[in-house]
Amino acid sequence: MTEPFDAVEVIATKRDKAELSDAQIDWVVDAYTRGVVANEQMSSLAMAILLNGMNRREISRWTNAMIASGERMDFSSLSWKTADKHSTGGVGDKITLPLAPLVAACGVAVPQLSGRGLGHTGGTLDKLESIPGWRAELSNDEMMSQLEDVGAVICAAGAGLAPADKKLYALRDVTGTVEAIPLIASSIMSKKIAEGTGALVLDVKVGTGAFMKSLDQARELAETMVALGTDAGVKTVALLTDMSTPLGLTAGNAVEVAESVEVLAGGGPADVVELTIALAREMLAAAGKDDVDPAEKLASGEAMDVWKRMISAQGGDPDASLPTPKETHTVNADTSGTLTRLDALAVGVAAWRLGAGRSRPGEQVQAAAGIVLHAKPGDTITAGQPLLTLHTDTAERFERAIAALEGGYDIGTGSAEVPSVVIDRVE
């Protein structure tokens, strides 16, 4: 077969800050998926995109080409309306766990295709796999059946969904091009649009523990993804949310599951409850069902009932004891005052080094690894009181985890301003 383009000319187009044509984009994504365009050529193009950007037409076309590389799911046969949520990743971000059953309890089905952690941001599937028996891999038929019966499913995306993205993401991860906003946006949205959900709510994190460190970066990413969803006919909105401090009082795997169950039982940390309800309201409104108050479903225990059915449907035991760590270490405050800062990145890296995350794809994580926070910014601290408890199965990991926390918190005088979790909304 004679190829209509040459990879070098496509690279040179973007290198020279010109627009890629629709035909060039369709070809290069398809040719890379087929192996005609080499990894080093696609990495050059990805770097050119990082440096020179893409306009809305180019990003939309690139996203469609990624979708076209694989299958598309269709939920139109369900008796439910559907809505999904995607978070750009953070520390202590267990929101998917209580959110999916809560939205289902309100009458909207949630087909939540989730991922694993890489680096300091935790993975939803890794957290859920700390529940004895629970499995992430479902066939499309199993997923459809569970959605119809339970109304919520959290599982791994099948290999047939946007395979071009899977290949390109692995390349971006090792070539310093993860931060390219056009590529982040098309990576997320190609999978979400191919998934076939009727409405999508994006949780775009901003702060030290997020990929987007500045509000301007986060807003640009949110606006780009909302435009992509809108262009594809998916009702899409985004919340910009704070990730300068870890969400809740836990970061890790089993510890975050336990905290999620607390939220479903009507308790849990105020920031986790606030964001769970805010996202639930957005999902319900986007699906055209804003006549139900998710706060009431949380208080009534109906969301907890859906959680137990959802976990059981995937082979898990929702009443089983969660794994506990073989080793713990407590970090105590060395002075009295007000906790004015607790850096999300420092806590995330420490949890990762304890075994809660992986440094390369496919590496095993420790279910019991993580961190429990005993205070949040704004709290009054007394010298000698516990600030954080570190959990791991391998005590030799403590040294590097403690090193990651150095300079990661401040105890001062006066009061600390505690911002709302939700910063802004983009539609």
Active site amino acids? 86, 165, 172, 187, 191
Q: What is the largest CA-CA distance in the chain?
A: 73
Query: Quick one: 99 exposed, middle or buried, by C-beta within 10 A (0-12, 13-18, 19+)?
Result: buried
CA angle 153, 156, 162 (to 5 degrees): 115
Nearest-angstrom CA–CA distance, 270 and 245: 13
Structural tokens at position 88:
């750009």
CA angle 30, 170, 118 (to 5 degrees): 145
CA distances from 52 to 45, 75, 180, 293, 316 (A): 10, 37, 10, 45, 47
Residue 175 bridge partners (DSSP):
none
Nearest-angstrom CA–CA distance, 367 and 129: 7
- Is the CB of residue 63 less than 8 Å from the CB of residue 45? no
| Torsion angles phi and psi, residue 339, rounded to 5 | -70, 110
CA distances from 170 to 14, 108, 116, 117, 406 (A): 21, 33, 13, 13, 31
170 CB neighbour count, 10 Å cutoff: 12
Nearest-angstrom CA–CA distance, 218 and 423: 11
Nearest-angstrom CA–CA distance, 144 and 152: 10
| Torsion angles phi and psi, residue 89, rounded to 5 | 105, 135
Look at the block and give the residue holding tokens 């009727």: 198
Nearest-angstrom CA–CA distance, 62 and 67: 9
Q: With CA atoms as reference, report the closest residue to 168 among 342, 321, 337, 32.
A: 32
Which residues, 6+ apart, have CB-to-CB distance to 261 below 8 Å?
304, 307
- Is the CB of residue 106 less than 8 Å from the CB of residue 294? yes
Beta pairing, strands 380-381 & 409-412: unpaired
- Is the CB of residue 426 less than 8 Å from the CB of residue 222? yes
